Structures are given as structure tokens and as C-alpha cells.
Amino acid sequence: MRGLRRNGLAPYFWGEDMRKVMIGGTGMTRFGKFLDTNLRALAAEAATAALADADTTADEVGMVFFGNAAGGLLGAQECVRGQVALRHSGLLGKPIVNVENACASSSTAFHLAVLAVGSGQCDVALAVGAEKMSNEDRTVPIKALEAAADRDEFEELKKRISPDGAGTGSVFMDLYSSLARDYAEQTGATAADYARVSVKQRRAGALNEKAQFQEEVTLEDVLESRMIAEPLTLMMCSSIGDGAAALVLMSEDYAERKATHPVAVLASELRSGQGDDPEAPPVAQAAATAAYETAGLGPEDLSVAEIHDAAAPAELMLSEQLGFCRSGDAVGLLRDGVTALDGRMPINPSGGLLSKGHPIGATGAAQLVELADQMRGRSGARQKEGARFGLAENAGGWIGADAAAACVTILGSTRH
């Protein structure tokens, strides 16, 4: 069956009995630091917008999957987070499933919504991702992020990535610093290359009204910004922020009854990392391999991609793991402009985590909102003309020597 789907036009299914699944609508708040706005307001804004975009009411929703990573540590709402956040949205009474998978929380929620619709459990499912990270005490969100690593080996991890034991106080930026130095040694990438990623993302973010940062920067601006963890400067690191994003999933038959322009879900793959096994492929690569097989596509077929650039070097590493180029060649893609907004395959036309922002539980859903907009031709000045297929990669947490989880999703336009 999969071999018959080489053109990628058949929406996602898993097995003979799975139905075709479509994105009927999307919604998203602006990302930023909103000290006076609570998680409930953010989640309700995104969910309401997604339902309206899908020409769908709350009554029609069969299941809700609510992604949030750190609400218990950041806001003391450890349990029933989705029920609390969506309390006044008209969705109470529906099955609400709370999903936590570190930074991959809302892409995992989306994955579960795809399975719910595809399996026939419901005709319409809502996936919501929301996070409220900003705090007057900056150490609070940083400490919350530490919970995304195995606490039993936390001190060992810190020593491994910061041999002098000093660190920056942000274990994940220390981790990206260590990975960036290793990558530079292996490939010849420079700090200027990492800065080029940030410049590219800020240029895209300047065209995105939902982005946390909406001003272009120069190479010098990035390189001269405050050093966080050598070689990473402030502008090479994603920022703490708040926001929410939501997507309405529906069966193909149901979508045909709606006044909406649907987007086909061609693949949705979730994998956990095997960071204790030196022979295992990186989790992003494993998820991407499965997604390409499910969609009947290859990386050469993609028009656009949204990937998890929590720090600038991640775009280069992930470009190789996702098969966009051979190992060591990602710097060349960047320098040649292939991944720029006007390039052959733009990466992170939303501005990515570096510019759009990274409220962790909302990030995966926000990536998918951008891809859906690209497939529908409504990304304005950021639009990739003729966009037909798009890939999103969203990872979360850390186990051993790899991310703990990764989701890779492939969407297809129905306009062609």
C-alpha cells in the first residue's frame, strides 16, 4: 500500500483500517513574554481561533489533546491542566487528554489527535499546546527545564557537558554549547555560521506578526551579543516565552462538509531516543525515516520545513539528521542560501524557535500551524511559492546522548 502512495497525495493512515486525516483549521496567539496573561487565556484564544478557522463548533469536537510541558513546575497546576485551561471554552464534557512530553508535548498531542481521527474514535479532534514560562524570577523557568533530563544522572550530565563544573546555570544551553563545539570540530562550522542561522531566523520573524522577535539583526549584532555558553551568544539561543497554538483534525469526509481549505496529514511519527545505545540513530533521524516511509516521500520532495532550533547550531545538525543533505554539508546549504526564505527549501520560515519564540509546550503545535499556512498559501511575505509538502521536527528532553522524544510530521497541500 505504501508503495502506491509515492506521490504523497493520500493523507496519513496507519494500517488498512485507518481513515484519511486532514487539518481543518489552525489558531495561534502571538508568542512573547506576557506576565499579566494566564495560561487559560492563551489556550482559549488559540483553541477558539482554530475552531473558527475550521468552520467548526466546540460541540462538534469529539476529543481534545492538551499539550503542556511544565505547568506543574511553573504554575503549580500539576494535574487536570487541560480541563483548567479550557474550562471556559465550551469544551468541558469532552474527553480531554493531558499530554506532557517535554518540548515535544504539543506535537505529541497532535500525533494522538491524528490517531484518534484516523482510527475512527471521532470525526473531529482538537490538539492544543500552551505554555506560560515568563516569571519575574528568571531562575524559575530555567529550573523547570532541568526536569526534562533524567534527574538520577543530572549531576553526571552537567559534568560531562561542562568539564570545569561551572556551567551557565542553563543545562540545555550548556548542552547545545557542547554539541556546537563538537559539530564545529567535525565539520569546520564557525561561530559566524551559527550567527548566520540566527540572522536568517530573525529576518523571517520580522515578517511574522506572531513572532516574539520581529526585528532583523546583522551578523555583527549576533556575534557581539552577550556570550551565554561558548560559542553561543544570546541571539543564538531561543528565549523563554509564553504562547499557545491549536489545530483541528478531522476525517476527510467531515472536512468536505466544511467551508475550509484542508491540509492533508501524510505522516505523523513519534519516537523515543535511545541515547544509551551508541549504535542507534539519532531520534530525529529515526522519526524522519519512518515519516518518509509512511508518506511515500523523500527529503528531496519537501518544499519547506520547520525544525527545532532551540539553539542556532541545531538547525545545521538536524538538517543532516533529517536527510536534507549529507553529513557535514549543512553549512554549505546555509551559506548558499538554500534554506533562506527565498531559497529552494526554506527552513523555519516562521522565524523558528530563535525568532518566533519557544514556549515549550506550544512549540510543536506552532510549527504545524506554520506548515499548514504554507500548504494553504497564506503565509504572506514568508510564503514559499508552490509549497506542496512540508515537514516539522519537534524534539524534547534529554536521555543519555540524545533527545528523549521526537515527532516528525509531514503535511501535504490539497491545492495542487
Q: Is 320 part of a structural domain of the chain?
A: yes
User: For residue 6, what are the domain limits?
Assistant: 2-136+240-413
Q: State residue 3's pLDDT score.
A: 34
CB 81 within 8 A of CB 361: no
* Averaged pLDDT of the chain: 93
pLDDT in tens, 354-400: 999 999 999 999 999 999 999 999 999 999 999 999 999 999 999 99
Q: pLDDT exceeding 70 applies to what percent of the chain?
A: 95
pLDDT of 97 reads: 98
Residue 107 lies in a domain: yes
Q: Is residue 28 a part of any domain in this protein?
A: yes
> Facing residues of 267 across strands?
410
Domain count, the chain: 1
- Burial class from Cβ neighbours inside 10 Å (0-12, 13-18, 19+) for residue 300 reads exposed
Give the bridge partners for 311, in sequence order: 237
| CATH for 79 | 3.40.47.10
pLDDT-derived band at 8 (thresholds 50, 70, 90) equals very low
Active site residues: 103, 358
**Mean of pLDDT values over 114-124:** 97
Is residue 256 a part of any domain in this protein?
yes
State yes or no: pLDDT of 2 exceeds 90: no
Residue 216 located in a structural domain:
no
Q: If pLDDT is split at 50, 70 and 90, which confidence band does 166 have?
A: low
Asked whether residue 312 carries a pLDDT value surpassing 90, the answer given is: yes
CA angle centred on 374, ends 304 and 407, rounded to 5°: 60
With CA atoms as reference, report the closest residue to 117 among 172, 178, 30, 56: 56
pLDDT of 334: 97
Tell me the C-alpha distance between 46 and 52, whole Å.
Answer: 10
The answer to whether position 108 is within a domain reads yes
7 or 340: which leads in pLDDT: 340
The answer as to whether 43 is a domain residue is yes
Least confident of 160-164, 205-209, 282-286, 332-336: 160-164
Q: Does any domain span residue 151?
A: no
